[in-house]
Structure 1
Amino acid sequence: MPFGPDRSAERVARPRRALRAGVAQVVAAGVGLALGLTLPAIDGGYQVTAERAVDVLKVAGVGVLSVATLFFSLLFLVVQWAAGNFSHRLVLFRDDPSVWRVFALVVGVLVFSVTATLAVGSDRTTSVAVPVTALVLSAAALVLVRRLLLDALRSIQLANVLADVRERGRTVLRSLFLPANGTGGAGGGGAPGERLPAVTSAVAWAAGSALVAQVDVVRLARTAARAEAVVVLTVPVGAPVYPGDVVAEIRGGSAPAAQALTAEVLEAVVPGTERVFHQDPALAFRLLSDIGLRALSPAINDPATAVQVLDAVEDLLRMVAGTELGARSVADGAGAVRVVLALPSWEELLRVGFDDLCRAASDAPMVLARARELLVRVREVALEERRPALEERLVWVEREFAGRHPAFLWGAAGR
């Protein structure tokens, strides 16, 4: 495994595609069709009148349609509410696997009800397994819908949203960033390039403009190993790409092998229309900053929410303050570097997660006080070379605070 024994890192390395949702629905429909054709054909065992069985199937089918209506209404309302109150980029509930799993079960129950009704036909009796299966599937749908409702309720509560964003951010950061004294192929800044062979060719983006949603790192590492080359990605996940942009450099290997590897690189870079958590280490910072900026807008004016946002930002910054940033080298099974990922630097993470929010908080003393506390505490655990960036921002916060709120005591963080 290119990411070593950490299975969470392996999950990050492999891209997720929307294909899973479609496959789940197709599988559920296939199972419903098979059950609808098989169960009515059972001759032995306890039998019930076909008329009663059909009544149960009709009730199950109508109930499923009602659940589907509720499903779509809930999805639309919750996504709209979260976008209007938190961030248009916040799609946690929409992308929750339980959403498409519930829909897949609804499709399966509906297909089973219709198929079994037609299979029973004009028979006088049918197996009791037919109505029992309809009831069991309907109960399972209700249980999942109840869970979906609870997830929807959580997704409109600030504390739960911040906790979810922070936890997803921690998962990606833990997988992509290694401790500064660790081994395993991570490089900070330009360090990996010093050990890499010369550039053989550059890979230009050939499709239309899009965002780099994910990268199939496992596929890239295996392909680069076969070509005895190294793929250096020059565009990080979450960044936009346009036709003709260089997305990667192929170093080492022969010219024919590099030419063949170019197509594999373009296939491994998965485009998208929006950023996703799966491999984007800066997305959590972006979302937290969005929520805080919206809370500090004149229309809302809720500095306490911005303070909670800074709590989550501090947690993420403390997590990466002692890690190697800027690049991540991925090795093959033999330990040779095969892929170099482009990752955000310390300055980029501070700029995305802290700067915009802090500058918007000039008129909110409790937020400035919390920002100062954040900088002081992160500075204590940060590497020596990262402290100047924190100290520069600390000077700015103190100057802004002294000029605008001289009567406010530093010790009051506004909790």
Structure 2
Amino acid sequence: MGDWKTTAGLPPGRRPRALSPLREHLRDTFWFAPTVALVLVVAVWTAASAADDAILTALRDAGDEDAVRDLLRIAEDAKTVVTTVSAAMMTFIGVVFSISLVAVQMAAGQFSPRVVRIFVRSRITKATFAVFLATFVLSLLVLTSYDSEPDPALVSSTPLVQSVLTVIMVGLSVVLFVMYVNSMLRLMRVVHVIDRITAESLRVVAGMPLDMAAEEPVALGPETARLAHHGRAGVLRDVNIARLVRTARQQGVVLRLIPRIGDFVTPGTPVFTVHGRNGGHDGHSGHDGHGGRSGPLTKGLRALYSQVSVGAERTFHQDLGFGLRQLSDIALRALSPAVNDPTTAVQAVDRIVQFLSAVARRPLGASLYRDGQGTVRLVQSVPGWTELVDLGFAEIRMYAVHSPQVTRRLVAGLDDLLGAVPEDRREPLIRHRALLTEAVERAVPEAADRAFALHPDRQGIG
């Protein structure tokens, strides 16, 4: 199959977890956490109701009527609290999250529409919404447990434990509300949005396999099949790596993902090429007339279609360049005449340099995923170094020529990266530095201003 160039001194790539795509998809939804919370609150209410019945029965069996009357009195007082909570909680939910939607809309207009997913994925937002709904539902369930019998001797249920749980949920709601407001105020500040994007991007880098191919093409052996996309058109969000590796091992083949994560695919777009093990000798013979092998191989490969996730927008899960795309978008919007906020652009450039520094010495080009025996089973293309540098600097460089604060930061960032990368990765950085110098020389007539604009400064203009 040819020699695989891997990171020196590092063990083979980490095997991905099978549920990884599902977990990430659920994080991109807003319904899952509230649904789980509602199911849990019904289960907790059922247990609390049984506990209340057991307490009342035990007291009556013991003949302690005074304790029974005290219990009924406490429960009746608690009913007032539960009724108030039930009436106020839903109104509170509506007001809080209406304000939140306005805040999200403002953030999307000021920063980038792609930052909305940060709000959707926010754990504190989901937890707050889930607990608020759970408190409201619990209060309704508790109200149904109250007996309407006027005679205490005929009362069969005293929801004391349930009422205590409701008060606890109200207290938890208050705490989460304070945390939620603090989180929302942070996310409305661009520096924290940029920080979150950078953290997600670096998490993608950390999750990449340690086993990477060099940027030159990798020899896979002869192609034995090509599988096209049959689902809806959309952005390739991710693939289920663990199951693809398992399928390739069972079939004795190597799979290569043709589009990159983040590419737009339509029905009929080639998605996988199949390469027979050791040049195609996998124990099967014959072809089916559609570019694939006949028999068990073709049947087994049908399972690959369900391992490809296509959606409306890109996600961070396996997309190495998505973070740079968002940082670049924020910087471009800050440099637009309508916003004119070069300081925000400098903050975005700071993080672009941080991200590129994190991948400066990593092998790029293709991720190699191996089975338990160490055999490569899946090859997934990732952006190369030159593409990442272009994504991070090209557009910003074009629109920053009239902002010396940004050009000075760009020059400093490029110089820092030139000192951090290997010799074979210096060319795109040198190219961008030269293009930036030429653009400033054309746009700025005064020599002193040009010299000022091209002076490296990590704070732009401190």
* Structure 2 length-normalised TM: 0.81
2:72 match: secondary structure: strand
**2:244 is the counterpart of 1:220:** yes
User: Given that residues 12 and 278 in structure 1 are in contact (C-alpha distance below 8 angstroms), is that contact kept between their aligned partners in structure 2?
Assistant: no
Partner of 1:41: 53
User: Given that residues 79 and 94 in structure 1 are in contact (C-alpha distance below 8 angstroms), is that contact kept between their aligned partners in structure 2?
Assistant: no
Partner of 1:78: 103
**2:25 is the counterpart of 1:17:** yes
User: Given that residues 230 and 337 in structure 1 are in contact (C-alpha distance below 8 angstroms), is that contact kept between their aligned partners in structure 2?
Assistant: yes
Partner of 1:116: 142
User: Given that residues 12 and 374 in structure 2 are in contact (C-alpha distance below 8 angstroms), is that contact kept between their aligned partners in structure 1?
Assistant: no
Partner of 2:358: 319
How many Å separate the matches in 2 of 1:329 and 1:392?
30
**2:376 is the counterpart of 1:364:** no
**2:459 is the counterpart of 1:400:** no
Residues 10, 368 of structure 1: alpha-carbon distance in 2 compared, 3 angstrom cutoff: farther
Partner of 1:181: none
Partner of 2:38: 29
**2:357 is the counterpart of 1:340:** no
Residues 135, 350 of structure 1: alpha-carbon distance in 2 compared, 3 angstrom cutoff: same
Residues 11, 60 of structure 1: alpha-carbon distance in 2 compared, 3 angstrom cutoff: farther
Q: CA deviation at 1:234?
A: 1.0
User: Given that residues 12 and 175 in structure 1 are in contact (C-alpha distance below 8 angstroms), is that contact kept between their aligned partners in structure 2?
Assistant: no
Residues 239, 286 of structure 1: alpha-carbon distance in 2 compared, 3 angstrom cutoff: same
Q: CA deviation at 1:317?
A: 0.8
User: Given that residues 57 and 117 in structure 1 are in contact (C-alpha distance below 8 angstroms), is that contact kept between their aligned partners in structure 2?
Assistant: yes
Residues 36, 197 of structure 1: alpha-carbon distance in 2 compared, 3 angstrom cutoff: same
Partner of 2:287: none
Partner of 2:256: 232
> Which letter does structure 2 place at the counterpart of 1:17?
H
Residues 327, 6 of structure 1: alpha-carbon distance in 2 compared, 3 angstrom cutoff: closer
1:104 match: secondary structure: helix
How many Å separate the matches in 2 of 1:414 and 1:258?
62
**Correspondence list, 1:14-413, <5 A:** 14-15=21-22, 16-18=24-26, 22-37=31-46, 38-39=48-49, 40-42=52-54, 43=56, 44=58, 47-49=71-73, 50-91=75-116, 92-123=118-149, 124=152, 126-176=158-208, 178=210, 185-191=211-217, 193-194=218-219, 196-252=220-276, 253=282, 254=284, 255=293, 256-405=295-444, 406-408=447-449, 409=452, 410-412=455-457, 413=460
1:330 match: secondary structure: strand
Q: Which 10-residue stretch deviates more, 314-323 or 253-262?
A: 253-262
Q: CA deviation at 1:22?
A: 4.1
* Structure 1 length-normalised TM: 0.90
User: Given that residues 64 and 138 in structure 1 are in contact (C-alpha distance below 8 angstroms), is that contact kept between their aligned partners in structure 2?
Assistant: no
Q: CA deviation at 1:97?
A: 2.4
2:310 match: secondary structure: strand
2:120 match: secondary structure: coil
How many residues align? The count is 404
In structure 2, the gaps of 5 or more residues are 1-10, 60-66, 277-281, 285-292
How many Å separate the matches in 2 of 1:87 and 1:21?
20
> Which letter does structure 2 place at the counterpart of 1:120?
Y
> Can you list the C-alpha shifts for 1:227-258, whole angstroms capped at 9, x where unaligned?
11111111111111111101111211442344
Q: CA deviation at 1:172?
A: 0.5
How many Å separate the matches in 2 of 1:325 and 1:342?
9
User: Given that residues 316 and 323 in structure 2 are in contact (C-alpha distance below 8 angstroms), is that contact kept between their aligned partners in structure 1?
Assistant: yes
How many Å separate the matches in 2 of 1:70 and 1:104?
15
How many Å separate the matches in 2 of 1:314 and 1:257?
49
Residues 355, 11 of structure 1: alpha-carbon distance in 2 compared, 3 angstrom cutoff: farther
> Which letter does structure 1 place at the counterpart of 2:25?
R
How many Å separate the matches in 2 of 1:76 and 1:26?
20
> Can you list the C-alpha shifts for 1:151-190, whole angstroms capped at 9, x where unaligned?
1111111211111111111111122264xxxxxx310234
Q: CA deviation at 1:327?
A: 0.7
Q: Which 10-residue stretch deviates more, 300-309 or 280-289?
A: 300-309
2:114 match: secondary structure: coil
How many Å separate the matches in 1 of 2:129 and 2:228?
39
User: Given that residues 232 and 341 in structure 1 are in contact (C-alpha distance below 8 angstroms), is that contact kept between their aligned partners in structure 2?
Assistant: yes
User: Given that residues 29 and 108 in structure 1 are in contact (C-alpha distance below 8 angstroms), is that contact kept between their aligned partners in structure 2?
Assistant: yes
2:119 match: secondary structure: coil
In structure 1, the gaps of 5 or more residues are 179-184
Greater Rg by CA: 2
1:244 match: secondary structure: coil
1:238 match: secondary structure: coil
2:231 match: secondary structure: coil
Partner of 2:290: none
Q: CA deviation at 1:148?
A: 1.4
**2:461 is the counterpart of 1:414:** yes
1:89 match: secondary structure: helix
Q: CA deviation at 1:27?
A: 3.1
How many Å separate the matches in 1 of 2:425 and 2:122?
36
